[in-house]
Copies of this chain bind each other. A is one copy, B any other.
Amino acid sequence: MDPKKLREMLEQVGAGGLTVDAAMAGLRDLPFVDLGYAMVDHHRALRQGVPEVILGEGKTPEQIIGISEELARRDVNVLITRIDAAKAEAVRARLPAVRYHAVARIATLEAHPIPALGKSPVAVVCAGTSDAPVAEEACETLRMMGASVERVYDVGVAGVHRLLARRTVFDRCAVAIVVAGMEGALPSAVGGMVSIPVIAVPTSVGYGAALGGLAALASMLTSCASGVTVCNIDNGFGAAFAAARILQSAARY
């Protein structure tokens, strides 16, 4: 039941064209039907300027094209994550406006300009070059959400001076996303160095005891730096979304 329909019903009651009992019966299912609309309100702040997101993994090029075309018709920006080069090529053959970001494994369709989100950039930090795909997934997602990005790459703890040499970057950032595989120690070092929110993203980089990223994940969850929070393995998109929640909240509260 949308607000318009509710208003009509109340007007009928007011006009005597509907008994109270009939209105009671009609309202019985209101709570559930109406919920979707109520929540969209809630999400409106965040959703303005936010692209529609398609998970490319597990979908055929045809399915991705289908969804993309429908969204394109609705004139919204589109972000396709975890899409490999071959699928992206197939999609671009049909939708030439789509751009592919190979390292990030992301394809985008920008129907309209992206409104800026937040006054300060998000620092995206990563330990080694193998972690770059996940870091770039975060960067490209942030860009599509309107946030600006400062990259601080290749600053793993085995060469801690490289991280320290970049320390002033954090003076001007509102949030830090820290991406690391193997032992996942970087968020602890960053978290001990800055006062801004630190979102840690473990990657599946490493072998043996790295356990597909579980070692880095456990490492980050038990970080000795207080107040570090963690995303799922390889989830650069999720980290960017969490950063966007923070920028959004900062702008409103």
Report A's interface with B, CB cutoff 8 A. Answer: 3, 6-7, 10-11, 13-14, 16, 19-20, 23-24, 27-36, 38-39, 42-43, 45-47, 53, 55, 58, 118-120, 127-128, 130, 156-168, 170-171, 173-175, 182-185, 188-189, 191-199, 202, 204, 206-235, 237-246, 248-250, 252-253
Contacts and interface: CB of A to CB of B under 8 A. Distances in A.
- Number of this chain's copies in the assembly equals 8
A238 B43 CA distance: 27
Contacts of A7: 20, 24
Nearest to A245: B197
A43 B173 CA distance: 14
B36 A157 contact: no
A70 to B, nearest CB: 14
26 contacts: A7-B24, A10-B10, A10-B20, A14-B14, A28-B38, A31-B31, A35-B160, A39-B161, A42-B171, A42-B195, A43-B194, A58-B130, A128-B224, A157-B224, A158-B224, A183-B224, A197-B246, A204-B208, A209-B214, A210-B218, A214-B218, A215-B218, A221-B231, A221-B233, A227-B241, A246-B246
Given A16-B14, A35-B161, A35-B165, A183 B219 contact: yes
A161 B43 CA distance: 13
Contacts of A185: 157, 183-185, 188-189, 219, 224
A84 to B, nearest CB: 14
A31 B34 contact: yes
Given A30-B31, A32-B167, A43-B195, A229 B227 contact: no
A188 to B, nearest CB: 5
Contacts of A159: 36, 39, 192
B207 A233 contact: yes
A246 to B, nearest CB: 5
B10 A224 contact: no
Contacts of A162: 36
A66 to B, nearest CB: 12
A30 to B, nearest CB: 6
Contact of A24 (B3, B170, B243): B3
A111 B185 CA distance: 35
